[in-house]
């Protein structure tokens, strides 16, 4: 005779009381989310809504006609402003011919490549990493200069009227450089924290993020002291006779190089965290098994750790890349004439004396569009499982 314990259990039906409890639980969950939603609504969506409307001239920001006139508000649609920003040509230098392509065509190719990479299909799984790489290369192409014999070859460039777009590409290039360097520096640091320091890892973590205890501005100014003509590096090189006192290394300060160095420095501690967390998720037994089977440490890292931490690396890259494209403070303080970035030009439309809020909104929306596209592509890319192909 089958005992009660052995009888198959019927699926539990939810009582009305339980359903109510679930509802209450859902409500309390939303309650927990409420502060975040309010903050998001007030400080992100509302400004975004206004920028969106303003960028297509559907409403006025300025409370009076006089202020609207001062701020350069248009009465019609902002097609001419959009055209000013993106309506320029890309000149591709092919052997024997200069091919002129509208920017929109290049943008379309970029978007298609990205969508291919994130589609989750076979191409995406097999070649996702490559496609993403090519897409980003396309984004950087106007600023890539390749060695060609004794000369340097600029393979793509923008037509002369594209100042804002050129600045955007330049910012992408600088942001990408600092992001890649920051990730390369952060990976071994995170590895060290996860595998080499045992119980004291959180103490070490505090040490790594110690720079955040100081104001960002102070840290940037400290770099001016380090990189200046009479700064720590130049003085050191002069002391050992590697640099002539009359000819210090001037590229160290007020240049693109400086901006990249400072951005990298600023973000490395921050992105150690997601990479460290990725390392933490690795089952140590997998690494031990790999070693037992004869893998070197590098092979174990390459074949096991890297695919597992790939999402963390991509997330870390985006953590640096997205805010860096629109950077304002760092290039203003240490950028000089050559380190100007898109964020400075954007800000100047509103508060720098350009008196052109609508163009500023157009620039902001364009930046937001690119960032959203990259974020969407990255999240789909990771979800598609293609991260392992990096």
Give dist(CA 390, CA 194) in Å, integer: 22
Binding to other proteins (CB under 8 A): which residues in 158-197? Answer: 163-164, 166-167
Q: Is 262 in the site for other proteins (CB under 8 A)?
A: no
CB 175 within 8 A of CB 167: no
Binding to other proteins (CB under 8 A): which residues in 356-375? Answer: 356-357
Q: Is 53 in the site for other proteins (CB under 8 A)?
A: no
Mark residues 66-105: x for contact with other proteins by CB under 8 A, - for none: xx-xxxx---------------------------------
Q: Which segment (31-39, 207-215, 302-310, 338-346) binds other proteins by CB under 8 A?
A: 338-346
Q: Is 351 in the site for other proteins (CB under 8 A)?
A: yes
- R_g over Cα of the chain: 26
- # residues contacting other proteins (CB under 8 A): 34
Name which of 79 and 230 has its Cβ closer to other proteins. 230
Binding to other proteins (CB under 8 A): which residues in 213-232? Answer: 228-230
Give dist(CA 162, CA 194) in Å, integer: 46
Give dist(CA 269, CA 209) in Å, integer: 5
Name which of 171 and 378 has its Cβ closer to other proteins. 171
Using a 10 angstrom Cβ sphere, with 0-12 exposed, 13-18 middle and 19 or more buried, the burial of residue 332 is middle
Q: Which segment (87-95, 179-187, 201-209, 248-256) binds other proteins by CB under 8 A?
A: 248-256
Binding to other proteins (CB under 8 A): which residues in 314-333? Answer: 332
Give dist(CA 380, CA 374) in Å, integer: 10
* H or E segment and range at residue 90: strand 89-94
Using a 10 angstrom Cβ sphere, with 0-12 exposed, 13-18 middle and 19 or more buried, the burial of residue 186 is buried
Using the structure block, give the residue that is written with the tokens 């590409």.
169
Interface contacts to other proteins, rule CB under 8 A: 62, 64, 66-67, 69-72, 163-164, 166-167, 228-230, 250, 253-254, 332, 335-337, 340, 344-345, 348, 350-357
């Amino acid at each position: 005779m089958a005992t009660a314990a052995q009888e198959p259990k019927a699926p539990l039906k939810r009582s009305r009381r339980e359903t109510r409890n679930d509802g209450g639980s859902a409500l309390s969950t939303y309650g927990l989310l409420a502060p975040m939603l309010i903050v998001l609504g007030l400080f992100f969506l509302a400004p975004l809504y206004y920028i969106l409307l303003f960028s297509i001239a559907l409403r006025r920001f300025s409370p009076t006609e006089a202020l609207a006139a001062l701020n350069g508000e248009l009465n019609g649609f902002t097609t001419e402003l959009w055209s000013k920003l993106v309506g320029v040509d890309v000149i591709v230098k092919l052997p024997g011919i200069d091919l002129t392509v509208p920017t929109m065509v290049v943008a379309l190719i970029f978007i298609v490549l990205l969508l291919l990479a994130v589609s989750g299909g076979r191409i995406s799984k097999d070649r996702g990493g490559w496609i993403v790489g090519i897409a980003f290369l396309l984004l950087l192409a106007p600023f890539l200069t390749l060695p060609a014999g004794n000369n340097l070859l600029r393979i793509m460039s923008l037509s002369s009227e594209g100042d804002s777009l050129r600045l955007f590409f330049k910012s992408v290039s600088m942001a990408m450089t600092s992001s890649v360097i920051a990730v390369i520096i952060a990976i071994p640091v995170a590895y060290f924290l996860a595998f080499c320091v045992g119980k004291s890892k959180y103490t070490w973590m505090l040490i790594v993020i110690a720079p955040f205890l100081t104001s960002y501005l102070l840290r940037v100014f400290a770099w001016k002291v380090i990189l200046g003509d009479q700064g720590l590096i130049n003085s050191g090189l002069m002391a050992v006779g590697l640099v002539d006192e009359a000819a210090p290394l001037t590229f160290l300060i007020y240049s693109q190089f400086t901006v990249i160095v400072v951005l990298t420095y600023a973000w490395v501690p921050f992105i150690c965290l997601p990479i460290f967390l990725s390392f933490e998720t690795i089952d140590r037994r997998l690494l031990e098994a790999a070693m037992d089977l004869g893998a070197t440490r590098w092979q174990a890292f390459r074949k096991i750790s890297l695919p597992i931490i790939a999402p963390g690396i991509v997330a870390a890259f985006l953590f640096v890349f997205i805010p860096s494209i629109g950077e304002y403070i760092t290039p203003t303080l240490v950028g000089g004439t050559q380190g100007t970035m898109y964020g400075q030009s954007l800000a100047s439309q509103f508060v720098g004396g350009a008196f052109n809020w609508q163009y500023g909104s157009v620039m902001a929306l364009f930046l937001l569009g690119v960032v959203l596209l990259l974020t969407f592509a990255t999240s789909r890319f990771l979800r598609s499982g293609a991260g392992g192909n990096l």
